Amino acid sequence: MQLKDSNSKPSSSNAVDTIQGWLVNQIAKQLGINAQTIKITEPLTRYGLDSIDSVTIVGELEDWLDAELPPTLLWDYPTIEKASQYLVNEVGVTPAETATQATEVTTKPQEAPKEKAWGGLWNKISGS
């Protein structure tokens, strides 16, 4: 499925940011890692996310968004960035906290310091 441009509208951009922030925190909690080490563009398996975690997180996401989601969401969209964009642009979900959280998530994981996280080899070599 092709993704639409996530930055087309300010409100959808806020919704994407809110979902990204929620996913970062939830995945950090689930895997017991520091949220600051999670990059939204990195495949989640690089942080040790397995099948059970994937299904569990989608279940919690369904509760939070009050929407029915495919249990395979984090297989089909394996990074936080892709999953969030899909949810907002394709499924059309809008988290209730969008307005309040939009400012919080500007501190975001993209700016995270480059620690020795599970998936940073290529980042380190490439300097990205």
Distance of closest approach, residue 52 Cβ to other proteins, in angstroms: 4
Please say which residue, 35 or 48, places its beta carbon nearer to other proteins: 48
Distance of closest approach, residue 6 Cβ to other proteins, in angstroms: 17
Report the candidate in 91, 108, 89 with the shortest Cα–Cα distance to residue 40: 108
Please say which residue, 1 or 10, places its beta carbon nearer to other proteins: 1
Distance of closest approach, residue 70 Cβ to other proteins, in angstroms: 10
Q: Which residues make up the interface to other proteins (CB under 8 A)?
A: 31-33, 43, 45-46, 48-52, 55-56, 71-72, 75, 78, 115-122, 124-126, 128
- 15 exposure class (CB count in 10 Å sphere: 0-12, 13-18, 19+): buried
Report the candidate in 15, 13, 40 with the shortest Cα–Cα distance to residue 26: 40
Q: Helices 10-31 and 51-65 sit at what angle, rounded to 10 degrees? A: 140
The C-alpha torsion from 19 through 22 and 27 to 29, rounded to 10°, is -170
> CA–CA separation, 62 vs 118, rounded Å?
27
Distance of closest approach, residue 74 Cβ to other proteins, in angstroms: 10
Please say which residue, 31 or 94, places its beta carbon nearer to other proteins: 31
Please say which residue, 70 or 92, places its beta carbon nearer to other proteins: 70
